[in-house]
């Protein structure tokens, strides 16, 4: 094209330490957009209930948790009605769990693309997680309905969910990148992921409050980045005690480490995706 | 002039049995690694070589801006690997290549098409995947749709499209990519004749508009028509490079896509059926007076055949049969038609067929040899080899795509005559 300056493409053997190539990803942001849009469209076209799934999942889990943990086991809920307590955690959790599961299989499912055309491969898991963000927005609307129903007045602290959502996004993408690349190398990952998501659910304060743990365990526990996310959402929306800065820092550091190492691992493996997939 | 593509010592190694395997699980991988280690220890630490495959080795070449270059060679010669490296689908093991300008690669028609999305949606998705910008797709949208002739079905999911419509739409998107360097792999092998011609025409336009085209194909006719230059790959190396007519002719003389002309082809291991009372031993084809050339449409061709017979006997039918790639019987030259039975002596017997005009268009045809008594099952029927027919003086785009019967004709425009219009 006359308006895109001619440039040199260099083709070389892969280096041991790949670059992030964020510039390239940025240049291809439209592709990321179209892939995201495809994921969303296809999901809503192929399924009978379409959009409703984004809501059904956290809603049904919340009902089950409220019945068994709230009513029967009488798990404490920091003075908040248990359904709200559970749902405020389940909304970001569902985003995390689905994002992780779907990005794990994203590259393998895109093998027809990967073996036929070049583009920054990071776009695939990134688009998958972004498509999940739309589900998150829908699930959040459900949460809003419950907040209104329980007459929780909106406060300025509600805006606090934004940084915690960013944290959840970073953690999801970080783990997703690791799993997506590993899944290309070893198809075991496909079987391990649902199991991993299940274990992770119990290691996150969703059915119970993190206050059940005492220090220093609570900070160690916060090495699971979803701990700070869930505590943060509850704090911002429901006014539960603010999560300790130590636990927030621990969660953030782990999320960043996951994201950076995940990107590097992904970039390093992607060179051979087309040969293996 | 600056080269559009410069490759220096490009090589690609695959590790057989390891990375090439799909669906490897962790357990298998561990077992393999342990096995490998044990073997290495037993061999005293020597490096394994037998498990490697160099799909491409030390490929160095330059392609000038605006050149249309055909990559030819047998299956497994490294054509597709080279194209994959240039399009960056995979990375080289050795060497380096530089490409100047925006690269568009078309390793497959319809990459990324999603069956559940509509035609309209797929145009945008596919365009983005091929590297087009949103505004670019929008600007060319009408043109793409018109080229594909799918206006009425734009809002229908492509899974409901006929395969022809699907291909037309997919190619239309790719054809409007307008890259400076276009890498194409054999996409013309699909679709009906009219569509293939449309594709060839479009590719010709791209080449004529001064863009660089690298075209991998088994279709020698298409390579000759579209490409000014050709690179011949053999066993992963660039064996020859030069004007496409010369390289193609050289390639075909050595066998090319079919069997080499003017050389005996032994038939001991060829697929066959029949009673075996006598057997075809070997066969050779050539153009009389021009050995080493492949037959031209409408030109002569000679078949020399040796038949092995254990006893003296007479057979009523010996025939050379040419079939299309899809198995349609096109030509039969049979002695039964002449009413001259063949008397076989014990041992080798020779028979020669001289076909005056091989009325087949450019393409690859299968040659079958047939022998039988006047009635009854075949004595021997051998699927012998493939022969390439090529018009080495072709001009223009030709009507050959899809048609198989060569039709000599002349055309004139008589002036002053009362042409009804």
Q: Is the pLDDT of residue A2 over 50?
A: no
Q: Is the pLDDT of residue A20 over 80?
A: no
A114 touches chain B (CB under 8 A): yes
The 3 state secondary structure assigned to chain A is CCCCCCCEEEECCCCCCCCCCHHHHHHCHHHHHHHHHHHHHHHHHHCCCHHHHHHHHHHHHHHHHHHHHHHHCCCCCCCCCHHHHHHHHHHHHHHHHHHHHHHHHHHHHCHHHHCCCCCCCCHHHHHHHHHHHHHHHHHHHHHHHHHHHCCCCCCHHHHHHHHHHHHHHHHHHHHHHHHHHHHHHCCCHHHHHHHHHHHHHHCCCCCCCHHHCCCCHHHHHCCCHHHHHHHHHHHHHHCCCCCCHHHHHHHHHHHHHHHHHHHHHHHHHHCCHHHHC
What's residue B306's pLDDT?
95
Closest-CA residue of A relative to B179 is A1
- State the best of B1, B60, B88 to mutate against chain A, taking most chain A CBs within 10 Å: B88
Does A13 sit within 8 Å of B92, measured CB to CB? yes
Q: What is the mean pLDDT of chain B?
A: 83
Does B22 sit within 8 Å of A276, measured CB to CB? yes
What's residue B21's pLDDT?
46
Q: What is the mean pLDDT of residues A169-175?
A: 96
Q: What is the distance in angstroms between the Cα of B146 and the nearest Cα belonging to chain A?
A: 22
Q: Using 50, 70 and 90 to split pLDDT, how confident is the model at A3?
A: very low
Q: What percent of chain B has pLDDT over 70?
A: 85
Q: Is the pLDDT of residue A196 over 90?
A: yes
> Which residues of chain A from 196 to 255 reach within 8 Å of chain B, CB to CB?
none
Higher model confidence: residue B235 or residue B44? Answer: B235
Does B136 sit within 8 Å of A34, measured CB to CB? no
A118 neighbourhood in chain B, CB within 8 Å:
87-89, 105
pTM of the model: 0.77
Which of A38-42, A155-159, B141-145, B416-420 is least confident? B416-420
What's residue B46's pLDDT?
46
What's residue B19's pLDDT?
46
What's residue B319's pLDDT?
95
**pLDDT digit string, tens, across residues A106-115:** 999 888 888 8
Nearest to B89 among A1, A14, A118 (CB): A118
What's residue A22's pLDDT?
79
Q: What is the distance in angstroms between the Cα of A122 and the nearest Cα belonging to chain B?
A: 13
Q: What is the distance in angstroms between the Cα of B19 and the nearest Cα belonging to chain A?
A: 6
Does A115 sit within 8 Å of B124, measured CB to CB? no
């Amino acid at each position: 094209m006359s308006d895109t300056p001619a440039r040199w493409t260099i083709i070389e053997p892969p280096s041991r330490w790949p670059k992030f190539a964020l510039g390239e990803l940025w240049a291809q942001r439209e592709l990321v957009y179209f892939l995201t849009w495809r994921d969303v469209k296809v999901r809503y076209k192929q399924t009978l209930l379409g959009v409703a799934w984004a809501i059904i999942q956290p809603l049904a889990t919340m009902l089950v948790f409220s019945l068994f943990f709230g009513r029967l086991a009488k798990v404490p809920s920091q003075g908040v009605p248990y359904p709200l307590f559970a749902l405020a955690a389940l909304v970001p959790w569902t985003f995390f769990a689905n994002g992780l599961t779907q990005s794990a299989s994203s590259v393998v499912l895109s093998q027809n693309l990967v073996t036929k055309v070049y583009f920054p491969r990071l776009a695939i898991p990134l688009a998958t997680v972004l498509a999940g963000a739309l589900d998150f927005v829908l699930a959040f609307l459900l949460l809003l309905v419950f907040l209104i129903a329980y007459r929780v007045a909106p406060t300025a602290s509600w805006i606090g969910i934004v940084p915690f959502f960013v944290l959840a996004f970073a953690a999801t993408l970080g783990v997703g990148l690791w799993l997506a690349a590993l899944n290309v190398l070893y198809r075991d990952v496909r079987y391990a992921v649902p199991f991993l998501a299940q274990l992770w659910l119990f290691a996150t304060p969703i059915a119970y409050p993190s206050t059940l743990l005492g220090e220093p365990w609570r900070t160690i526990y916060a090495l699971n980045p979803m701990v700070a996310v869930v505590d943060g959402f509850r704090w911002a929306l429901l006014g539960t005690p603010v999560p300790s800065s130590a636990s927030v820092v621990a969660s953030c550091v782990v999320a960043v480490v996951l994201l950076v190492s995940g990107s590097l691992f992904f970039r390093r493996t992607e060179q051979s995706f087309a040969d293996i997939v | 002039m600056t080269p559009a593509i410069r490759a220096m010592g490009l090589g690609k190694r695959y590790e057989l049995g390891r990375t090439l395997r799909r669906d490897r699980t962790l357990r298998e991988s561990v077992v393999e690694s342990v096995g490998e280690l044990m073997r290495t220890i037993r061999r005293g630490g020597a490096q394994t070589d037998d498990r490697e495959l160099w799909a491409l080795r030390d490929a160095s070449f330059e392609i000038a801006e605006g050149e249309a270059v055909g990559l030819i060679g047998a299956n497994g010669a490294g054509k597709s690997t080279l194209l994959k490296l240039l399009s960056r689908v995979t990375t080289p093991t050795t060497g380096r290549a530089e490409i100047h300008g925006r690269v568009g690669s078309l390793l497959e028609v319809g990459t990324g098409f999603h069956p559940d999305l509509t035609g309209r949606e797929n145009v945008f998705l596919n365009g983005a995947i091929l590297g087009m910008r949103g505004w670019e797709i929008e600007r060319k949208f009408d043109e793409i749709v018109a080229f594909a002739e799918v206006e009425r079905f734009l809002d229908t999911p492509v899974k409901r499209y006929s395969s022809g419509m699907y291909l037309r739409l997919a190619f239309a998107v790719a054809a409007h990519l307008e890259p400076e360097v276009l890498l194409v792999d054999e996409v013309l092998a699909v679709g009906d004749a009219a569509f293939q011609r449309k594709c060839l025409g479009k590719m010709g336009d791209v080449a004529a508009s001064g863009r660089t085209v690298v075209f991998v194909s088994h279709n020698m006719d298409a390579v000759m028509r579209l490409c000014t230059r050709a690179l011949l790959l053999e066993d992963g190396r660039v064996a020859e490079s030069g004007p496409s007519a010369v390289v193609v002719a050289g390639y075909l003389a050595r066998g090319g896509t079919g069997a080499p002309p003017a050389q005996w082809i032994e038939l001991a291991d060829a697929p066959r059926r029949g009673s075996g009372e006598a057997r075809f031993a070997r066969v050779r084809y050539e153009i009389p007076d021009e050995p080493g050339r492949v037959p031209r449409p409408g030109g002569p061709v000679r078949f020399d055949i040796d038949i092995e017979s254990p006893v003296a006997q007479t057979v009523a039918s010996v025939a050379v049969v040419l079939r299309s790639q899809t198995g349609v019987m096109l030509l039969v030259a049979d002695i039964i038609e002449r009413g001259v039975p063949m008397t076989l002596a014990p041992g080798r017997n020779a028979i020669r067929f001289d076909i005056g005009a091989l009325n087949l268009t450019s393409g690859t045809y299968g040659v079958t040899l047939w022998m039988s008594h006047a009635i009854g099952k075949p004595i021997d029927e051998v699927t012998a080899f493939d022969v390439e027919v090529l018009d080495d003086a072709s001009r223009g785009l030709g009507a050959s795509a899809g048609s198989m019967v060569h039709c000599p004709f002349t055309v004139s425009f008589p002036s002053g005559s009362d042409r009804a219009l």
